[in-house]
Structure 1
Amino acid sequence: MTELVPVSFSPWEMFLGAGPVVRCVMLLLAVASLLTWTIFIAKSVELLRIKNRLGKAETALEDASTLELAEEWTRGNISIAHALIMAAGTERTRSQDIPGDNEGLKERIVLHLERLETAEGRRLMRGTGVLATIGATAPFIGLFGTVWGIMTAFTGIAASKATSLAVVAPGIAEALLATALGLVAAIPAVVIYNHLARQTAACRAQVADLTALVMRLVSRDLGRMQAHGASTQVVRLGSSRVAGE
């Protein structure tokens, strides 16, 4: 009686026994999975640092009484907070030749800050598009490997004229491994993409808070200038009346 030699169905043995096309598909999915986790670690560290930096900048702007003081506190700090403050200060400097245009100045500053806020949002989302691509395409890439492997297995069966399940099973198992790898690559990519999207939205909300704080400082400075101008005008009128008497 002939003993049946047990066939190993470990993932590594199935990978080695797969055809070249299916093997390339498995390698592609493995690289995609590795890329997913690399992006997750890198973006998590990056967003954590950004959130801490934005929190410190928000505290500094809350404590600042003028835009110039806020600029001094954030000087040397290459961040979105310093960029927002510098943009507001630059627009004020460029608009000095337009007296009495406080509302127009505020509108121009808001437009500039909104552009910076939008650019920062795009920068925060950088790299996450790869996760969306992997999550959307990995299952279909794995399915392609499975279809190709099953097609190859049935072609081999037809060529050998063997109908035993023992002959069919290894090729089908190797082909189905591609589908499993596709799901292993796709599911974490989708979950991680949604997680990073939530973290990015929180950072964007902090940037929006910084924009509001900068505009509050600008409005406060303009109010002081207007009040100072009004008081100076009152003093001049009083001096003229005294001189006339």
Structure 2
Amino acid sequence: MDLNHLSAVAAQVAGVDAVAGVPTRLDPLELFLDADIVVKAVMVGLILASIWSWAIIVSFVLRLGKLNSASREYEGDFWSTSDREGALSKSKRASIPSARVAGAGLDEWKRSTKNGAPDRDAARERIGQAMESQVAEEADELSGKLTFLATTGSVAPFVGLFGTVWGIMNSFFQIGETQSASLAVVAPGIAEALFATAIGLFAAIPAVIFYNRFSNSVNQYEAKLQRFADKVHAGLSRELDKV
């Protein structure tokens, strides 16, 4: 075996050893620990955003279920009693949106009728506006935290992409320092960089899915409140005819 052949075999063995030094499976913790400080900051920020998004998702599901149940119970009680004002305790106004909507209408009805016969058309308009305003306020309050989901869904992929670009630039600098573009030199930095994009998608995808779903749920809940308000308004309008 001549010298040239031995050199070629040695080069092949060295190449195999270099590639063998590259991790063969994904280790998220190792990728995070080996990443550049900027990429680490990006990853931490995205992980925190994902945790907060899931906290909002879980709390919103529980809250919406509780509000729907409480509103159904209150509306049943409201229509089954002749003492509508007695059904508006302070505790119910504090915790049930339907009670606050009915309370807004009843409060305006009392203000409009306290001085005797009112201008019925103007009173009806004021009562309707008072309840519509309260319905809109309830919907806005319910959907307030959903803006974070929308922001996370739209921004997280780009934040992850920033971490990826930064990590790839570091890989290029390593190539320049080592004067080698072998897989052993380039692969770790690129893997760390791409991991930032993966975390960005992990944070963004559920945020977008649940934001769209919850936005539809808020619209449905607002429509239910508006139908209840319309019924209350019709009842108060009939009462005005008796004044």
> Which TM bucket (shorter chain)?
0.7 to 0.9
> Is the partner of 2:121 in helix, strand or coil?
helix
Residue 58 (structure 2) pairs with residue 44 (structure 1):
no
Using the alignment, how far apart are the partners of 1:163 and 1:101 within structure 2?
85
- 2:197 pairs with 1:197: no
Q: Could you tell me which residue of structure 2 aligns to residue 121 of structure 1?
A: 139
- Tell me, in whole angstroms, the C-alpha distance in 2 between the residues paired with 1:100 and 1:130: 46
User: Which amino acid is the alignment partner of residue 33 of structure 2?
Assistant: L
SS in 1 for 2:87: helix
| Selected match of 2:38 from 6, 10, 21 | 21
How many corresponding residue pairs? 222
Query: Pairwise CA RMSD of aligned residues?
Result: 1.8
Match of 2:204 in 1: 186
Distance in 1 (CA, whole Å) between partners of 2:234 and 2:103 is 15
SS in 2 for 1:71: coil
Contact 1:142/1:178 (<8 A) preserved: yes
Contact 1:85–1:214 (Cα < 8 Å) also in 2? yes
State which of 86, 91, 98 in structure 2 corresponds to 1:72: 86
Distance 1:40 1:207 in 2: 22
Q: Which amino acid aligns with 1:28?
A: G
- Return the match for 1:167 from 171, 182, 185: 185
Of 96-105 and 8-17, the range deviating more from structure 2: 96-105
Question: Following the alignment from structure 1 to structure 2, what is the Cα–Cα distance between the partners of residues 152 and 145?
Answer: 11
Specify which structure has the bigger relative contact order, considering alpha-carbon pairs within 8 angstroms and separated by 6 or more residues: 1
- State the SS of the aligned residue for 1:73: coil
TM-score, normalization by structure 2: 0.85
AA paired with 1:118? A
Q: Percent identity?
A: 36
Residue 86 (structure 1) aligns with: 103
Matched, 1:137 2:155: yes
| 1:11 counterpart = 2:28 | yes
Residue aligned with 1:70, SS: coil
4+ long deviations beyond 6 Å: none
Counterpart-to-counterpart distance in 1, 2:181 and 2:161: 24
Deviations 1:136-162 (A, max 9, x none): 000000000000000011111111111
CA contact (8 A) 2:168 2:189 kept: yes
Per-residue deviation, 1:82: 2.5
Matching residue of 1:238: none
| Paired amino acid for 1:71 | E
Is there any run of 5+ residues in structure 1 with no aligned partner, and where? 227-245
Indicate whether 1:62 and 2:79 are aligned. Answer: yes
Point out where structure 2 has 5 or more consecutive residues left out of the alignment.
1-12
Aligned amino acid, residue 104 of structure 1 = A
Q: In structure 1, what is the Cα distance between the partners aligned to 2:178 and 2:116? A: 90
Moved more, 14-23 or 77-86: 77-86
Q: After superposition, what is the alpha-carbon deviation per residue over 1:51-98, rounded to whole angstroms, capped at 9, x for unaligned?
A: 111111222333345xxx122224241222322333223223322336
Give 2:173's aligned residue. Answer: 155
Q: TM-score, normalised by structure 1?
A: 0.84
